Amino acid sequence: MRLVDSHCHLNADRFEADVDDVLARAQAAGLERILVPGWNVRSCERALELAEVHPWLDASVGVHPHDAAKVDAAGWEGIARAASDSSVVAIGETGLDYDRVFSPIPDQLTNLRRNLALALETGKPAILHCRSAANRRDGQDALLAELRAAGLGGGAWTVAFGDRPPAVIHSFSGSQDYARAVLDLGLAISFSGLAFRGGEEASRQVAAFVPAERLLVETDSPFLAPPGAPRSRNEPEWVRVTAAWVAEARGEDLAGLGAALVDAYDGTFPRSRARA
Ligand SMILES: [Zn+2]
């Protein structure tokens, strides 16, 4: 079984003591790629360190909506510089969180725009977090408006990315029409353990129609444990639960889906020549 984890916070403090054991379990479960996204200055630095020590890991750097109001100009400059590192394959995670609103919405919007600008400048796809409160869709609507205003789906983005997705909707949450709208802009969609929660029933239909080359899976460890994984700390090996759910939703066999997931990962996050 071949697998990827396209979003896994091994840079979180909760993995500091035993990351080598976690990686050994991940490799035993068939994982060939893990993308470690930063969310603030410190976690971006730690993502780079991990990708340096473990060359089979990839890093991404950016600022999460929760931290939008907490990263100062010098912090952002450091992150923007790190974005050109050869171990960095994406920008983020960034996005909008209209559910918890840990940073004021105007700060989230400013932060999203500078992360998108950095994605366009570097040609590395943006990793987008997007959540609304239960039974609402204001976060998704605002994100779509921002992506359209930034010009995704055409112009300079097409020049910079060609056929590659210019962004990934990480830990998909939302309706079928929202999914179709982001696919129309050329984005990829990644599913996590969130898909198993109440209120996320549309995810099953979405998982069935996302084109294979734009379909990803992730754990978002240490968060969002799928059924069967320890709720105290999710780990990359548990991506197999979400992959099995996706395979079932698509009526595909798990081994074939796993190989397609590796291809989709490599097509979305190509490594620079120096590291390949
Ligand atoms: Zn995350």
CA dihedral of 177, 183, 189, 191, whole degrees rounded to 10? 30
pLDDT for 274 beyond 70: no
Give the list of residues 6+ apart from residue 225 with CB closer than 8 angstroms, or none. 193, 231, 233, 234, 238
Q: What's the pLDDT at 272?
A: 76
Q: In what order do the strands lie in the sheet with 3-5?
A: 3-5, 31-37, 57-61, 88-97, 126-131, 167-169, 188-191, 215-217
User: What distance in angstroms lies between residue 37's CA and the mean position of ligand 1's atoms?
Assistant: 7
User: What distance in angstroms lies between residue 93's CA and the mean position of ligand 1's atoms?
Assistant: 6
Residues 185-231 pLDDT 10s: 999 999 999 999 999 999 999 999 999 999 999 999 999 999 999 99
55-74 average pLDDT score: 97
One-letter amino acid for residue 104 of the chain: P
User: What distance in angstroms lies between residue 221's CA and the mean position of ligand 1's atoms?
Assistant: 8
- Sign of the CA dihedral with 61 first, then 87, 32, and 216 last: positive
Q: What's the pLDDT at 276?
A: 54
State the chain's mean pLDDT as an integer: 96
Residues 197, 174: Cα–Cα separation, whole Å: 12
Residues 78, 74: Cα–Cα separation, whole Å: 6
User: What distance in angstroms lies between residue 9's CA and the mean position of ligand 1's atoms?
Assistant: 6
10-24 average pLDDT score: 97
> Which residues sit with Cβ closer than 5 angstroms to ligand 1, an ion?
93, 220
Confidence of residue 49 (pLDDT cuts 50, 70, 90): very high
Q: What's the pLDDT at 205?
A: 97
Residues 124-148 pLDDT 10s: 999 999 999 998 999 999 999 999 9
- Work out the burial of residue 251: count CB atoms within 10 Å of its CB; fewer than 13 is exposed, 13-18 middle, 19 or more buried: exposed
SS (H, E, C) 17-40: CCHHHHHHHHHHCCEEEEEEECCC
User: What distance in angstroms lies between residue 218's CA and the mean position of ligand 1's atoms?
Assistant: 9
Quote the pTM value: 0.96
Q: What's the pLDDT at 261?
A: 98
